[in-house]
Amino acid sequence: MEYMFIGLILVIMFVLVTTVMDKLNKLENRMKNIKITLDQIAKVVEVPEHPINNDLRELLKEGKEIQAIKQVRAVLGLSLLEAKQYVDALKI
């Protein structure tokens, strides 16, 4: 009886975890699509770049990628991963 109860709890936990992970993946995809849309709108409306971008490009030319990432984190308040992605986008 106890094993059946434990098994049932494990199945319920598995279903809950997979459901939450699926919802998170969907939200992440929606956020990516929203970012793409916002980037396209910004280009059409000609929204100026953030002033930090010129400084970051100079740091990248000097080979100081880590310093550029640190500066992005300090100025824009991004996480390490987000700051890395931001700097990588400037390389293109």
Q: Are 74 and 56 in contact (CB under 8 A)?
A: no
Vertex 72 angle, CA 70 and 74, to 5°:
70
What amino acid is encoded at 5 in this protein?
A: F
According to the model, what pLDDT value does residue 72 have?
Answer: 96
What does pLDDT average to in each consecutive run of 10 residues of the chain (92 residues)?
90 97 97 92 91 95 96 96 94 82
According to the model, what pLDDT value does residue 3 have?
Answer: 86
SS3 content of the chain, % helix, strand, coil (to 5): 85, 0, 15
According to the model, what pLDDT value does residue 28 have?
Answer: 95
Structural tokens at position 21:
């992970």
Residue 3, SS3?
helix
pTM of the model: 0.61
